A and B are shown apart, each in its own frame.
Chain A
């Protein structure tokens, strides 16, 4: 996984709440067995509309998506994260994220930042007034900056460390194999098993 320390890019205002993962990538686009190429399905239905924000210059080249509350609700499909990353997004900002989407993003190195609704609205206005406005996201400082503003955001220490180091969760867990072995030794016998087939 790529390390995330600082990112500077332009931002895209997506003035919608409850952007569910069926909108981020409709189910018919989920049939690939690879992790790449999902950008063609990103917001597929909305991108049919020439007025949709990602069909406009210069927003279509943005790398920071600024969305309304409850971004990523619905299906657990990690393809939603891959579609956003494959398209080129590095950061998503919203007042609130769905739990599974936020967890999936952290696994893949897509940074999700929670800012209060009023700060999101101020950012929307700023990037609508000046679409080429550079927005700087520092995970090291835990800040989003643009123009003269610097906004702090919260991120727990563990997730921040993992993202900044670009660490693979599975590798970290496999270092705890002794603990897993010990847990399995003590595990109750009444729990079912799928094999042998009964």
Chain B
């Protein structure tokens, strides 16, 4: 029987396999950042261990860095200590770092691909659950905890139990105005926030093939929101084209492409689970609740919990509506928004900024709200400025910021105030995620831009 793509990559990375124990898996690239690495380096120091392969390791500063006044010292002393600790650790252990102000600084999952370090067939880990983003290149990429960060630093391997595989076939053609973000939100609403637990998801089908590399990253990025540690897409000509010319693209290009061309799921391979979505039927999608599975088409209404059969889900929906201050039956398009956030490792790349800027060009954002535009990396910011996108955003009344995770998780000063409601292109609508008491609706960049103009949740078709 043939193998799935995930099984092929797994098999190529087995260092040691013994019955009754997890497989020892080799890690090709380890990405680190300031929040989940300090205790790992400390563990190395206490045990007198070194970083086994510094040249397979890359650090960026992203999670708690400010997006304004980045030429000044970080104002919050605790954030500053965490960033300084990363800098000192990288210097001590010989790890390459892109610090705030560096041209290659940015969100770790935007920086890896733009440097050409993310390539097909690799195993990639990072102490961040959105590492699944890199799966868009046909890499097996997943988030790890700090103990595992220390393990990879010390050994360049991880003991792992082989995951099951799930195929998600998205067949057909997306309607105009429907984006990769809407695809993944619809998938999560269908399989639930726990539906992918224990699986690697492989996104397949004509609608996935038709997506750009950046759109594929948006899809893979939110695999974790369906409970799956990793999601991947078989590499193709678009993947190779994206990598070509990047700083770390393979020197022996032909050998690399020959290898990459072996990375697909065999026709006779069997997935443990297979589901199919009709791309033609998908519409712009937004969340109404406090987990990413609580979403609905933008044309719909806030659902009535009383109509949900499952008692656990009904209870969760009831609590979510209280937290979100929403009433069942309210048209989603009537919901007024206070803050629009465009950015994050989900939707902070140049295509995301271009698509939002195209809607905002010559328009003004509603006087009732503020809009933050936070590029995913310093290079994305420079590219956007070269194309004049910054001028479009600022002329519309939006704030143009420096790169970082920013309001996606509100670790830096970019936060929602209690009770404030956002339309956010990020990935999590958990209670208080973007600031204590803040309320989050997850949206695509197109919906974010249209919402900014109208002041209520809207799609470009409503303009």
Contact surface of A with B, Cβ cutoff 8 Å? 16-18, 20, 22-23, 26-28, 30-35, 45, 68-70, 73-79, 81, 96, 98-100, 103-104, 107-108, 117, 156-158, 169-170, 172-174, 176-177, 179-180, 183-184, 187-195, 197-198
Contact = CB atoms under 8 A, between A and B. Distances in A.
A180 B155 contact: yes
Interface residues of B, number: 83
A55 B146 CA distance: 29
Given A33-B85, A45-B432, A75-B129, A194 B150 contact: no
A31 B79 contact: yes
A23 B252 contact: no
B57 A194 contact: yes
Nearest to A183: B15
B193 A195 contact: no
B227 A70 contact: yes
Pairs of residues from A and B, 9 with the lowest C-beta to C-beta distance, nearest first: A107-B147, A104-B145, A78-B145, A33-B38, A76-B143, A195-B55, A78-B146, A76-B129, A31-B78
A99 B145 contact: no
Contact of A17 (B26, B64, B312): B312
A66 B146 CA distance: 25
Interface string B429-453: 0111100110000000000000000
Contact of A192 (B78, B85, B250, B428): B250
Contacts of B227: 70, 73, 98-99
Majority secondary structure of chain A interface residues (helix, strand, loop or mixed): loop
Nearest to A75: B129
Given A18-B291, A180-B155, A74 B430 contact: yes
B20 interface: yes
Interface in B383-425: 409-411
Given A73-B194, A103-B148, A158-B22, A190 B432 contact: no
B154 interface: yes
A192 B29 contact: yes
Given A99-B229, A173-B24, A20 B255 contact: no
Contact of B247 (A17, A99, A107, A198): A198
A31 B82 CA distance: 6
Contacts of A192: 29, 116-117, 119, 248, 250
A187 B13 CA distance: 9
B156 interface: yes
Q: Which of A34, A76, A189, A191 has the most C-beta atoms of chain B within 10 angstroms of its own C-beta?
A: A76
A18 B432 contact: no
Given A73-B193, A174-B154, 7 more contacts: A17-B315, A23-B430, A27-B410, A31-B78, A76-B129, A76-B145, A188-B259
Contact of A176 (B24, B81, B313): B24
Interface in B313-342: 313, 315-316, 319
A174 B155 contact: yes
A54 to B, nearest CB: 16
A92 to B, nearest CB: 15
A73 B291 contact: yes
Contacts of A189: 252, 255
Interface string B182-219: 00000000000110011000000000000000000000
A41 to B, nearest CB: 12
A30 B35 contact: yes
Given A107-B147, A174-B155, A68 B20 contact: no
Interface string B145-181: 1111011001111010100000000000000000000
Contact of A197 (B96, B116, B319): B96
14 contacts: A34-B42, A68-B312, A76-B127, A78-B147, A100-B143, A103-B145, A103-B148, A108-B147, A169-B147, A177-B155, A191-B119, A194-B29, A197-B96, A198-B247
A32 B366 CA distance: 39
Contact of A173 (B36, B129, B157, B229): B157
Given A70-B194, A190-B250, A192-B248, A22 B431 contact: yes
B56 interface: yes
B39 interface: yes
Contact of A107 (B21, B119, B145, B259): B145
B256 interface: yes
B145 A100 contact: yes
Contacts of B345: none
